[in-house]
Amino acid sequence: RTVYVNGEYLPETEAKVSIFDRAFLMADGVYEVTSVLDGKLIDFDGHAKRLQRSLSELDIAAPCTMDELLDIHRELVKLNNIEEGMIYLQVTRGAPDDRDFVFPDPETTKPTLVLFTQNKPGLADSPAAKKGIKVISIDDIRWGRRDIKTVQLLYPSMGKMMAKKAGVDDAWMVEDGFVTEGTSNNAYFIKGNKIVTRALSNDILHGITRAAVLRFAAEAQMEVEERNFTIEEAQQADEAFITSASTFVMPVVEIDGVSLGEGVPGPRALRLREIYLDESRKAAV
């Protein structure tokens, strides 16, 4: 695979980052994952805007313009022949000469920019979407700025392992009795013609897929309610689902051992998935 590191396109085995890189030592970096369908980028604009926001919240300089970033994405898609898959992008505060808690001088330490592709044929036509996924609930013990997409992913990673050990697919995190989000996705339930999901705040990541799906809700004749909800309320819903750039809209059929409806993906979640895929493909760049 050809990857991108600080201005160069290289074979992955030749790509290098310093051991003093702040992301390696302190998780001092942010990332984005953009999906590719039909060789084109889904919602690049949304991801570029969120990246700019993550960088500015952490006072990390943008490594290049967003137009240059689009060119790099497209070049990697071309070089690696990606029809369906993902592009992972990471920007870190860079690599100073030594380890220090204090931020390095941005004049001398430039941000590190890394991108690589993940080839996933069949991403849109996923078997998991036909079966639905099962989730458990776990405590949300992450830090208080989950709106910033940092590479500090140890707890979400542990959450996925807890799910795996419990024999299910993923975990929904709960704080003060209310669901925040999934380990790497936003969480929703459907009751009647209403989609319920937690409102935006520093408690959750402002999902790019979330924004798109809520925009498309009207096309599915559905209403949106952004508010706190409990696991118990979701368990009694008609349907549930998650969204993320890599899973699109993924039906959830079981929460903490309780089956939703018939225990198979519901018609409304599947309809939302279809609309999301259709509309995103049309708008892809």
Residues labelled as active-site residues = 149
Q: Are 90 and 151 in contact (CB under 8 A)?
A: yes
Interface segment toward ligand PLP; rule CB under 6 A; list 96-104, 117-125, 201-209, 225-233: 201-209
Cα–Cα distance measured from residue 16 to residue 145, given in angstroms and rounded to the nearest whole number: 29
Number of residues that bind ligand PLP (CB under 6 A): 13
Minimum distance, C-beta of residue 160 to ligand PLP, in the bound complex (Å): 11
Interface segment toward ligand PLP; rule CB under 6 A; list 1-9, 63-71, 177-185, 231-239: 177-185
Instruction: Give long-range contacts, CB 8 A cutoff, 24+ apart: 103-107.
Output: 103/59, 104/22, 106/61
Does position 181 interact with ligand PLP (CB under 6 A)? The reply is: yes
Minimum distance, C-beta of residue 187 to ligand PLP, in the bound complex (Å): 9
Nearer to ligand PLP, 112 or 280 (CB): 280
Nearer to ligand PLP, 95 or 252 (CB): 252
Nearer to ligand PLP, 79 or 217 (CB): 217
Binding residue for ligand PLP, selected from 137, 186, 197, 280, defined by CB under 6 A:
186
Write the binding mask 124 to 163 for ligand PLP: x where contact by CB under 6 A, - elsewhere.
----------------------------------------
Binding residue for ligand PLP, selected from 92, 109, 152, 185, defined by CB under 6 A:
185
Nearer to ligand PLP, 92 or 185 (CB): 185
* Chain contacts with ligand PLP (rule: CB under 6 A): 33, 181, 184-186, 205, 207-210, 243-245
